Amino acid sequence: MFSLRLPIPLEKTLITSLPKTSTTYSAYSGMTRFQVCHRYLSNSITKRGTSVVAFQDEVDGEIFVDAFQDEADGEIFVDEDFLEVDPLPVELQPELMPKHVAVIMDGNGRWAKMKGLPTSAGHVAGTQSFKWIVKLCYSWGIKVLTVFAFSMDNWIRPKVETEFLLNLFERSILSQVEECKRKGIQISVIGDTSKLPKSLKSMIANAEETTKENPKFQLILAVSYSGKYDVVQACKSVAKKVQDGLLHLEEINENIIEKELETNCTEFPYPDLLIRTSGELRVSNFLLWQLAYTEFFFNKKLWPDFGKDEFVEALSSFQNRQRRYGGRH
Amino acid sequence: MDFRDGAHNLYHIIVASLHIGKLRYLAVVIESEEAHQTSKVIKLLQWLDSVGVKNVCLYDMNGVLKKSKDTIFQIMKNAKSIEEVNEDVTHHAPDHMTLEFVSYVDGKEAVAKAANLIFVENFKRHDIGGELDHQILLESHLNQALQIVGCKGPEPDLLLVYGPVRSHLGFPPWRIRYTEIVHMGSLNFMRYGSLIKAIYNFTKVRHNYGT
């Protein structure tokens, strides 16, 4: 499990008057000295009937939301084994599984607002849904999952939130790289990385390099990405090839541009199924070129509430249409 | 008063309350097999005209609707083609409909043509002593070049898909960044009530656009 840190006012937390459970000395990311940490236990968000417990640390008078752990039957367990295979539900047929699923993970902020929590808590809860869908795709024979982790349009959000999101993203991936390598999960990142913090750029390069061999499944993370940016950078690549004498102007057509899109990092660049949560009915500048024949599934659930049942519903709907109307046009 | 009168009156009330001004440009995607049913397409356009939707882009992948253009304009006498309208199509007076006919070649192929145009200009400039800079290509340049190659239509606010599959079937990708997409089912079973509902729901939605 990962840790994240964001100072939030005490009244915004769910800390009750429960006693301290431990006093430890810990070093935190970004801090250069050991500090006394008083850990409080509090009940947090209930997701799908499971109590999710948030440990909240008071450090020098500030409260930080710590890692979430799932609590089942009174025992707290850490989901280090999130990549253990989940059996395919009986209502799904393995031969009709989409090869490439894309997801717009929308609704973290609204979810948090509904629960009276800070936006950061929504993003943290959203990472649990993200882990679930990675596990299910990996388990059920889907070859590629592309998630819209951070849009170019999101840069207009408050700096505190964008920094938190990127930090959350960095820590989430960092904690899972070795596990992904062991399980044959290739991590790829698409998007304009020029605006990302140095540490994140370096982490991305390391994750891609570490996981590139013998993939059974590919996870594509769209970070600082937009569909228009992808087309423009593809056209720039084509122009460079013409300049370098590798292509003639007369040869340029849509297929040549397609080969330069950032989704050329995968054998299956065109999603068969796009899922968007939170009830929004738009693609919001995601994979514009690649979605020509993609089937859309818009679900009203907010992303932190999107789980196995909802994913099965999306896949069932896809498979029903495949049975009735066949594959791509 | 029978059930139909009641439904008709209800639709009348809903239509009267629509903030139709929010729907500046509507796209209708029709699966090419179904697009051959010109009478149904015309009926759909008449419904749209009656509720105040004046700017419509009709798309099907294979260009069937383009071939039906003349027939459609013969029946829709108050409609003009987007090529005939000089001013910004979303700002024209609502006394006539504007129709745009689009197919697959106006999508990805058009982007390739537009990119080619930029490359040619760039290399021409280089040949006469200017700088050759492949990085000069920006989103705004592609936008301009697309206008030059004939792709003048704006980004639709709402896109209705008529057909068996919930997909936009290759509608020009450059134009659907924030377009709301609603699947309406088969054109064979199109219903006025469903159309009103889709438009009504669109006019109620608050758009965040990344925030």
Residues of A with a catalytic annotation lie at: 106
pLDDT value, residue A52: 40
* Cα gap B107→B87, rounded to integer Å: 23
In the predicted model, what is the mean pLDDT of residues A156-175? 89
Contact B176, B44 (CB under 8 A): no
The 10s digit of each residue's pLDDT in A38-53 is 443 333 433 443 334 4
Whole-angstrom distance, CA of residue A236 vs CA of residue A222: 20
Among B112, B165, B178, select the one facing A253 at the smallest CB separation.
B112
Q: Which residues of A touch B134 (CB under 8 A)?
A: 236, 239-240, 242-243
What's the whole-number mean pLDDT along residues A218-233?
95
Of B54, B57, B13, B44, the C-alpha closest to B200 is B13
Tell me, what's the pLDDT at A269? 96
By C-alpha distance, which of A262, A292, A226 is closest to B106?
Answer: A292
pLDDT for B9 equals 73
Mean pLDDT of all residues in B129-137 = 56
Whole-angstrom CA distances from A153 to A150, A229, B178 are: 8, 11, 11
- Residue B25: the pLDDT is 95
Give me B139's structure tokens.
């989103």
Q: What is the pLDDT of residue B128?
A: 52
If you average pLDDT over residues B198-210, what whole number do you get? 76
pLDDT band at B120 (very low <50, low <70, confident <90, very high): confident
Higher pLDDT, B210 or B84: B84
Which of A238-247, A304-313, B7-16, B126-135 is modeled with the greatest confidence? A304-313
Q: Return the SS3 of A220.
A: strand
Q: Is A231 on the interface with B (CB under 8 A)?
A: yes
As for the ipTM of the complex, it is 0.88
Contact residues, chain B, for A325 at CB < 8 Å: 164-165
**% residues pLDDT > 70 (chain A):** 72
Bridge partners, A189 (sequence order): A221
Which is more confident, A220 or A6?
A: A220
A289 CB neighbours in chain B (<8 A) are 108, 111, 173
Q: What is the mean pLDDT of residues B123-146?
A: 70
At A28 the pLDDT is 34
Does the beta-carbon distance from A284 to B210 stay under 8 Å?
yes
- The 10s digit of each residue's pLDDT in A291-328 is 999 999 999 999 999 999 999 999 999 999 877 665 54
At B119, the pLDDT band (50, 70, 90 cuts) reads confident
Beta strands at A50-59 and A35-47: parallel, antiparallel or unpaired: antiparallel
pLDDT in tens, B167-187: 999 999 999 999 999 999 999
Q: Does residue A328 belong to the interface with chain B, where contact is any CB pair within 8 Å?
A: no
Q: Across the interface, do A249 and B118 touch by the CB < 8 Å criterion?
A: no
CA dihedral B123, B124, B125, B129 (to 10 degrees): 90
Please tell me if residue A281 touches chain B, with a CB cutoff of 8 Å. yes
Q: Tell me the pLDDT tens digit for each residue of B10-64.
A: 777 777 777 888 899 999 999 999 999 999 999 999 999 999 999 999 999 999 9
> A229, A254, A300, A316: which to substitute to probe chain B, counting the most B Cβ within 10 Å?
A254
A32 touches chain B (CB under 8 A): no
Q: Residue A11 burial by CB count (10 A; 0-12/13-18/19+): exposed, middle or buried?
A: exposed
Q: Would the CB atoms of B177 and A239 count as touching at under 8 Å?
A: no
Q: What is the pLDDT of residue A327?
A: 53
Between A253, A282, A288, which is nearest B173 by CB?
A: A288
Chain B contact set for A273 (CB, 8 A): none
Candidate from B139, B173, B178 with C-beta closest to A282: B178
Could you tell me the end-to-end alpha-carbon distance of chain B, in angstroms, rounded to an integer? 49
Q: Which of A85, A41, A93 lies closest to A66, judged by CA? A: A41
For the four alpha carbons of B164, B167, B168 and B170, in that order, the dihedral sign comes to negative
Q: Which residues of A touch B183 (CB under 8 A)?
A: 296
C-alpha span between B94 and B92 (Å, rounded)? 6
Q: Do the chains contact at B173 and A292, CB–CB below 8 Å?
A: yes
pLDDT at B4: 63
Confidence class of residue B210 from pLDDT cuts 50, 70 and 90?
Answer: low
Contact B181 A284 (CB under 8 A): no
Q: How many CB pairs under 8 A join A and B?
A: 120
